[in-house]
Amino acid sequence: MTPGLRRLGAPRPAAVRAGPGGVPALLGRARVEAVREEWVVEDRWWTGEPLRRRYFELVLTDGRDVVVFRELGEGRWYEQRG
């Protein structure tokens, strides 16, 4: 990749506080108003670096619609932009 450029849609670390069942309740200081959709991605299972993520499309009380995911292997949260 060329220096100074970044991939579009590259995940960024996110400050998520999860509630019951691991469902996000806060993203930063914004409360989650609704979970619009939830899904799990398991890919590259045949490699030495499998990908396992639990995604959530969230509607926040400040009006934003965001997608976050939790890396199931490491437990860290990320925000994914389109």
Rounded to whole angstroms, the Cα distance separating 46 from 17 reads 32
Using 50, 70 and 90 to split pLDDT, how confident is the model at 82? Answer: low
pLDDT of residue 14: 97
Q: Nearest-5° angle of CA 36, CA 41, CA 44?
A: 165
pTM equals 0.85
* Residue 5: predicted pLDDT: 67
Sorted by where each begins, the domain ranges of the chain are: 12-80
Q: β-strands 51-60, 65-71: how paired? A: antiparallel
pLDDT in tens, 8-66: 678 999 999 999 999 999 999 999 999 999 999 999 889 988 899 999 999 999 999 99
Give the residue among 59, 80, 58 at the shortest CA–CA distance from 69. Answer: 80
